[in-house]
Amino acid sequence: MTPYQGYHALARVYDKLNAELDYSAWADFIEDCFARFLPEKPQYVLDLACGTARMALELAARGYDMIGVDGSADMLAEAYARGAFGAGILLLHQDMRAFELYGTVGAVVCCLDSLNYLLTREDLLSCLRLVHNYLDPDGVFLFDVNTPFKFEQIYGNNAYVLEDELTFDGGEEGEERAAVYCGWQNAYDPESRICEFSLSVFEEDADGRYRREDEIQHERCYSLDELRECLAEAGFDFLGVWQDFSFTPPSPTAERWYIGARAKK
């Protein structure tokens, strides 16, 4: 297995660039899923590929005992800086294709297309088998993926710039500028169904100059049939696929599928 190496340059600025994501609404939907698919609220919940632990913190605040697993030490350092340790979240620096927990959990969540980072069917299966292994009987796995529509029509071979909130730097000749810019170039290969993201992160230093760091990331596009097959092979019952934090079936132009599965044991 190629060791996981991702999220260095992006880690420090990740939350600034994703500030608009509503983890509170997302956690509401996760709790709706718990109410619908579990006999009672789970005590232990694993946030797989937890990143900077925004979801783990949100769920910890709602009373769940949280474990966060991530393969990037830089993302976990950000999680620590956000107060994950103080909130009682157990952070584990592990690869999601080969992680180990101390015991089982009632639910596993995996947010913001983290499963798309698994680039082969074998890697996806290794991860799903472990999720199944560490779930209580009938425990639920809730995750989301970027859809084929998003890879083909939105990512494609497009380039864009992300920036954090603009601030006015004052004075008559002042201008609005962001402290972070991220240049984003996509290259999607329809054969391998792998999208390469070439990122250039520019972050403002104290002296007003911008420091540049580059990073390459890859995501793999999975069809719904592939996901369902892999879930079944790993021992899951498929519970449904939805969009927009509701139990609505996804439209053909949905960019993200929210999926639920139950561990049969």
Ligand X SMILES: C[S@@+](CC[C@H](N)C(=O)[O-])C[C@H]1O[C@@H](n2cnc3c(N)ncnc32)[C@H](O)[C@@H]1O
Toward ligand X, which CB reaches closer, 117 or 242?
Answer: 117
The answer to whether 231 and 238 are in contact (CB under 8 A) is yes
d(CA 101, CA 61): 22
Minimum distance from residue 262 beta carbon to ligand X (Å): 21
Nearer to ligand X, 47 or 203 (CB): 47
Those residues whose C-beta lies under 8 Å from the C-beta of residue 135, and which sit 6 or more positions away, are 104, 105, 106, 107, 108, 141, 263
Sheet containing strand 135-146, edge to edge, reads 90-93, 65-70, 44-48, 105-110, 135-146, 256-263, 236-242
Q: How far is the CB of 99 from ligand X (least distance, A)?
A: 8
Closest contact distance (angstroms) between CB of 174 and ligand X is 33
Binding site for ligand X (CB under 6 A): 4, 6-7, 49-52, 54-55, 70-72, 75, 95-97, 111-114, 117
Q: Which is nearer to ligand X, 111 or 227 (CB)?
A: 111
- CA dihedral (105, 107, 110, 111) positive or negative: negative
Residues forming beta bridges with residue 183, ordered by sequence position: 161, 200
Nearer to ligand X, 101 or 138 (CB): 101
Nearest distance in Å: CB 52, ligand X: 6
